[in-house]
Amino acid sequence: MEYRGYKATVTFDDDLDIFHGAVIGTSSVISFEGESVEELREAFAGAVEEYLAFCEEEGVAPDKPFSGNVALRMSPDLHRAATQTAQVEGKSLNAWLAEKVAEAVGAGPK
């Protein structure tokens, strides 16, 4: 699910017959729930709006979702070597770097 750039994961609780959702990619805890997909979407939007309003009232900047873009600086020699290695593996430099970062942090491909 996505709303105003914020993304959420959703689980279904069979015992309570309800969906639970949580916004990901922020240090703040933003959760919501609903009994139907439509209700869940409305609750998600409401939770994000409440979070943004709370931050404004408190005068703090809200956590913003990560864009997925990273500016990376490296030496020209390392840039050349990484590009050549990616080419040998039949990948773009971006795809190769993303794969290596995912391996380093123990995450699967996204």
Confidence of residue 108 (pLDDT cuts 50, 70, 90): low
Q: For residue 69, which amino acid is it?
A: N
Q: Does the pLDDT value for residue 110 go beyond 90?
A: no
Q: Which residues contact 103 (CB under 8 A, 6 or more apart)?
A: none
Q: With residue 13 as reference, give the H or E element that holds it.
A: strand 6-13
Q: What is the mean pLDDT of residues 20-41?
A: 93
Q: For residue 8, which amino acid is it?
A: A
* Tokens 């279904």 sit on residue: 12
Q: Which two tokens stand for residue 64?
A: 């913003």
Say how far apart CA 79 and CA 36 lie, in whole Å: 49
pTM, to two decimals? 0.62
